[in-house]
Structure 1
Amino acid sequence: MLISPAYAQAAGGGAMEGLGAFLPLILIFVIFYFLLIRPQQKRMKEHKAMLEAIRRGDRIVTNGGIVGTVVKVVNETEVSVEIAENVRVRVMRDMIANVLSKTEPVSGGGESKGKPANEDGGQGPDDGSGSGNGGTAGKLKGLLSGKKS
């Protein structure tokens, strides 16, 4: 007679105990998703968008640490990168770690063709031209001093 009430109590809470046992595992998975999986997916999406936006004139860093300027986009998987004067290598687009500087979009006039957005093309206050307006004299002096425009 004493055994039958004990079996009755154990049988009544069986469904809730099964859910309660999996609750910590579900909670751990939710925490992992928000702390690890979701941020990694966001970074991968941003990196893919960065790789698709690479164009001629961008300064890049490869996964091997080589810094260079994109000379030509060969196809959707390769770019030609100049790492020193007259030294060009072909790099797989997936192996580009970071874009250091972007070029300005080429306008209809073609004035800023191939100039990076963060470089002033030798027309800044340190080029010694004295004018600062980027006239012909400033460009000529920059060329004679060895600066590339």
Structure 2
Amino acid sequence: MKLMTLLQAPGGAMGSGVSTIIMIVLMIAIFYFLIIRPQSKQQKKLEAARKAMKPGDKIMTSGGIYGTIKEINSENGQVIIEVWEGVKMKVDINQVFALPENNISKK
């Protein structure tokens, strides 16, 4: 009769601590594989694309401005892009959000 009383106790008297730890570890694993890992992979891919940029590449900034790279100044982290003939803009290299050939679907 005592065994039945223990099994019916709320939360299970014997294994509640172990099951709580297992649930926490499981939640952390799910969080890692669904959120952290894909984000870090995407960040590495973006950094590799930024390092591979060269003058003449077509880019899009995080503000949605399309342009062609004219000059890269790696000392101060700036890129000079041409958005129209004769119209040049100086943009921080971290604001180069997408390279059109990789991330934007062609219509």
Q: Where does residue 97 of structure 1 map in the other structure?
A: 97
Q: What pairs with 1:39-118 in structure 2 (closer than 5 Å)?
A: 39-76=38-75, 77-101=77-101
Partners in 1 of 2:39 and 2:89 — Cα distance?
Answer: 30
TM-score, with structure 2 as normaliser: 0.76
TM-score, with structure 1 as normaliser: 0.55
**Greater strand fraction, Structure 1 or Structure 2:** 2
Instruction: Report the secondary structure of 1:64's partner residue.
Output: coil
Deviation at 1:23, TM superposition (A): 1.3
Q: CA RMSD in A?
A: 2.2
Question: Which runs of 5 or more residues in structure 1 are unaligned?
Answer: 1-5, 7-12, 103-149
Q: How many residues are matched? A: 91
One-letter code aligned to 1:29: I
Q: What pairs with 1:4-43 in structure 2 (closer than 5 Å)?
A: 16-43=15-42
Question: Which runs of 5 or more residues in structure 2 are unaligned?
Answer: 6-11, 103-107
Query: Looking at CA atoms only, which structure, 1 or 2, has the larger radius of gyration?
Result: 1
One-letter code aligned to 1:43: Q
One-letter code aligned to 1:98: A
Deviation at 1:87, TM superposition (A): 0.7
Structure 1 runs, 4 residues or longer, greater than 4 Å off: 13-16
Cα distance per residue 1:18-59 (max 9 Å; x no partner): 222221111111111111110001000101111111110000
Deviation at 1:100, TM superposition (A): 2.1
Q: What pairs with 1:126-141 in structure 2 (closer than 5 Å)?
A: none
Contact 1:58–1:101 (Cα < 8 Å) also in 2: no
Partners in 1 of 2:29 and 2:56 — Cα distance?
Answer: 43
One-letter code aligned to 2:67: G
Cα distance per residue 1:117-136 (max 9 Å; x no partner): xxxxxxxxxxxxxxxxxxxx
Cα gap change, 1:80 to 1:51, in 2 (>3 Å): same
Instruction: Report the secondary structure of 2:94's partner residue.
Output: helix
